[in-house]
Amino acid sequence: MGTKGKGGRPRVRNKRDHQITVRLTEREYRKLQKAASGSSVAALVRDRLLGLSKETTPQIPLVNRQAWIELSRTASNLNQMSYHLNTGTRPEVDRILPLLSLLQRNLEQVRAGLIGGIHGNR
């Protein structure tokens, strides 16, 4: 087969054998870790310095992720209520009104978290 050696890991063609040391503050390093979003900081720095970085996907702010989760729960509850109302059975007002009230509170909390305050900054 034309390979030398007794097996094992194949040789790397473009071996990275040079190292650059950079000192960072804790804050700078955390910022790089966040930008790397799961991959290695070294790969991020190398790719950016050599102009190899692709467009990074925009980071979703934490408040938006939390709002999405809350809205998903609220939408799920609303879908369940809609399903039961659309089955043709007579709605149980005593069960539906508290659920609607809960949905309204959930939506107000999500809105308050996104724009600040129950009524926002109008």
User: Does residue 120 surpass a pLDDT of 50?
Assistant: no
122: confidence class by pLDDT, cuts 50, 70, 90: very low
Per-residue model confidence (pLDDT) at position 116: 63
Residue type, 74: T
- pLDDT of 31: 92
- What amino acid occupies position 50? L
By mean pLDDT, which of 4-8, 44-48, 73-77 is the weakest? 4-8
Over the range 33-69, which residues count as b (16 or more CB within 10 Å of their CB) and which as e? eeebeeeeeeebbeeeeeeeeeeeeeeeeeeeeebee
Q: Rounded to whole angstroms, how far apart are CA atoms 104 and 119?
A: 13
In this predicted structure, what is the pLDDT of residue 57? 55
In angstroms, the CA 105 to CA 111 distance is 10
Q: pTM higher than 0.75, yes or no?
A: no
